[in-house]
Amino acid sequence: MLLQSSFLLVLPLLALHVAAKGADCTSLLSLSLPNVIITYAAHLTAGINFTASADPTCFQPTYVNSADICRVAGTVNTSSTSSVSFEMWLPDTWYGRVLTGGNGGLGGCELLSFPIRCSVEVDHKPALLLLGINYPTLDQGSFYHFATIAANGGHDGSFNGPAFLVPESLIDFSYRAVHVTAELGKKLSTIYYGCAPHHSYYNGCSAGGRQGLSVVSRYPDDFDGIIAGSSAVNWHHLIGAPAIWGSYVAANTSREIPLPLWPSIITPEILKQCDGIDGKVDGIIADPTLCSWNPDTLLCGPGSNQTSCLTKDQVDGLKKFYQPTLGSKGDIIVPAFEPGAEGDFTLPFPMNGVTPITVAVRRPNLIN
């Protein structure tokens, strides 16, 4: 009986596939797959500080891997005028699963050096999901024994307007980059480990959430499960709304609210007014839709220090910011910002009359 129990305990371990190192990894450089060019393949032990395969303007040019991996990089030609850059991290110990990572923002790189707040956790340490090739997901996935692949969405640089003038590149960014990446991830895993993966998953946030929902509706067989966080599905309205807010502030620069005032006076005041709505003061607004906060409490009095209060124009701008964005016919384009979202990295842009992500998307569309 003891022998039988011991044998049953060993059975799950037989499902693990321990990949060879070194030569087996570099041999992928000579791999021949349709429309695929492998430009890099090398084995890395955990803790190596290496240069990321990303646009030179990206926020994080170097990265440290948490697991022993075969690191592979290359391109997939998706048409005669477009291609997708990718990386795949194949862990030495594989559990038969593939993970595909999505993008954020406009896909190709970080947004003016601001990481987005769709966070993941690697070995119980927080890591920010960046906007180009998704290195945190590559690292997290390989650390937990997933063969993990991620791509640049079909272009380099988050504000690469010229890329959006190429129709095929726009298709890549919309959905195709994730699809071809998912297919390639399964193929490379099968070749490298000598057997096909038994499950395939996807993880994306913001634009990555939109990509995930788009891909599963077009290619339902790509994944067995997806995480589509904060999905930016109403893309044109989402991109257009900051332009409306930004133009409102830019029309009267006295409405601008300096970035330091958000965490120092605005967020604390919102919490003061709304934190206890759920009966518990814990630094969390449980239901932001119930928070009808009054910005007038931040209005400067006579002789006030304006580093700790707001002018009337700033208060008026703040009130508008927390109202729905309406179209010319009075229809809601984008719902109001919910109180408690002030920590979001995009917030300072429209309240200072600056909307770089909107310009990056709208300008090429107008030119085209």
For residue 294, is it within any domain? yes
**Averaging pLDDT over each range in 108-112, 132-136, 223-227, 242-246, which range is the top one?**
223-227
Q: Confidence band (pLDDT; 50, 70, 90) for 351? A: low
* 272 or 50, higher pLDDT: 272
Range in 3-17, 264-278, 312-326 the model is least confident about = 3-17
Count of other CB atoms within 10 angstroms of residue 87: 23
| Secondary structure (3-state) at 45 | coil
Same domain, 99 and 205: yes
> Which residues sit opposite 120 in a β-bridge?
127
Q: Judge contact between 120 and 169, C-beta under 8 A.
A: no
One-letter amino acid at 46 equals A
Same domain, 147 and 43: yes
User: Which of 233, 264, 285 is the last residue before a domain boundary?
Assistant: 233
The DSSP element (H or E) to which 224 belongs, if any, is: none
| pLDDT tens, residue by residue, 180-212 | 999 999 999 999 999 999 999 999 988 889 999
The mean per-residue pLDDT over the stretch 34-47 comes to 95
pLDDT for 355 equals 55
**Averaging pLDDT over each range in 20-29, 281-290, 301-310, 331-340, which range is the top one?**
281-290
Of all residues in the chain, the percent with pLDDT exceeding 90 is 44
Q: Nearest CA to 222 among 212, 233, 232? A: 212
Which tokens is 277 given? 């709505």
Residue 151 to residue 243: CA distance in whole angstroms = 28
**Helix 235-250, helix 356-367: angle, nearest 10:** 110
**Helix 312-321, helix 235-250: angle, nearest 10:** 170
Same domain, 79 and 160: yes
Range in 66-75, 234-243, 354-363 the model is least confident about = 354-363
| pLDDT tens, residue by residue, 322-347 | 888 887 898 887 788 888 877 654 55
Which tokens is 346 given? 């995009």
The mean per-residue pLDDT over the stretch 291-311 comes to 90
pLDDT for 230 equals 83
| pLDDT tens, residue by residue, 271-289 | 999 999 999 999 999 999 8
Q: Confidence band (pLDDT; 50, 70, 90) for 59? A: low
Count Cβ atoms within 10 A of the Cβ of residue 27 and give its class: 0-12 exposed, 13-18 middle, 19 or more buried: middle
Q: Judge contact between 237 and 333, C-beta under 8 A.
A: yes
Same domain, 66 and 126: yes
The mean per-residue pLDDT over the stretch 350-356 comes to 57
Same domain, 194 and 343: no
| Secondary structure (3-state) at 161 | helix
Residue 368 to residue 352: CA distance in whole angstroms = 28
Q: Could you give the number of structural domains in the chain?
A: 2
For residue 62, is it within any domain? yes
Q: Confidence band (pLDDT; 50, 70, 90) for 80? A: very high
pLDDT for 293 equals 93
Same domain, 146 and 16: yes
Q: Which residues contact 156 (CB under 8 A, 6 or more apart)?
A: 54, 55, 85, 108, 109, 132, 163
**Conformational region of residue 320, where left means phi above 0, alpha means psi within -120 to 50, and beta covers everything else:** alpha
Residue 285 to residue 339: CA distance in whole angstroms = 8
Domain assignment of residue 118, given as a range: 11-233
Q: Confidence band (pLDDT; 50, 70, 90) for 134? A: confident
Same domain, 20 and 88: yes
Q: Name the average pLDDT for the chain.
A: 79
Q: Confidence band (pLDDT; 50, 70, 90) for 23? A: low
Residue 168 to residue 179: CA distance in whole angstroms = 14
Residue 333 to residue 250: CA distance in whole angstroms = 20
For residue 96, is it within any domain? yes
CA gyration radius for the chain?
24
Q: Confidence band (pLDDT; 50, 70, 90) for 25? A: very high
Same domain, 150 and 266: no
Q: Do you know the residue count of the chain? A: 368
Same domain, 334 and 204: no
For residue 289, is it within any domain? yes
For residue 177, is it within any domain? yes
pLDDT for 70 equals 96
Question: What are the Cα distances from residue 31, in Å, to 108, 177, 188, 322?
Answer: 26, 21, 9, 54
pTM, 2 dp = 0.77
pLDDT for 114 equals 34
Same domain, 132 and 198: yes
| pLDDT tens, residue by residue, 226-270 | 999 888 887 777 777 777 777 777 677 788 888 788 888 998 999
Backbone angles phi, psi at 57, to 5 degrees: -85, 0
CATH of the domain at 42: 3.40.50
Same domain, 207 and 269: no
SS (H, E, C) 282-302: CCCCCCHHHCCCCHHHHECCC
Residue 121 to residue 144: CA distance in whole angstroms = 11
pLDDT for 206 equals 85
For residue 248, is it within any domain? no
Same domain, 162 and 84: yes
Residue 273 to residue 271: CA distance in whole angstroms = 5
* Cα dihedral 207/208/211/215 (nearest 10): -170
The mean per-residue pLDDT over the stretch 309-314 comes to 93
For residue 245, is it within any domain? no
For residue 241, is it within any domain? no
Question: DSSP alpha helices (H): ranges in the chain?
Answer: 2-14, 23-26, 135-143, 167-171, 177-193, 207-218, 235-250, 261, 267-274, 312-321, 356-367
